[in-house]
Structure 1
Amino acid sequence: VAYLVIGIFRGSITINFNIRLEFENKWGKA
């Protein structure tokens, strides 16, 4: 169970990081 929770937690962090990078790339340079 611990591995599952850690996997979801780390997965959400990487997803949020990718979304932030896309947001900065699209709107930061506009």
Structure 2
Amino acid sequence: MIAFTWISGALALGLLFYLIFALLKPERLS
């Protein structure tokens, strides 16, 4: 269960950073 929580947390953080990057740098997205 701990591993599942860690993986889900890592995916959530990755998605969050991707969304922030997309909002800050929209011109770099193809």
> Could you tell me the TM-score, scaled by structure 1's length?
0.84
Q: Which runs of 5+ in 1 are unaligned?
A: none
- Cα RMSD after superposing both structures: 1.0
Largest Rg, 1 or 2:
1
Runs of at least 4 residues of structure 1 off by over 4 A? Answer: none
| Structure 2: runs of 5 or more not aligned | none
Task: Count the aligned residue pairs.
Answer: 27
Percent sequence identity over aligned pairs: 11
Q: TM-score, normalised by structure 2?
A: 0.84
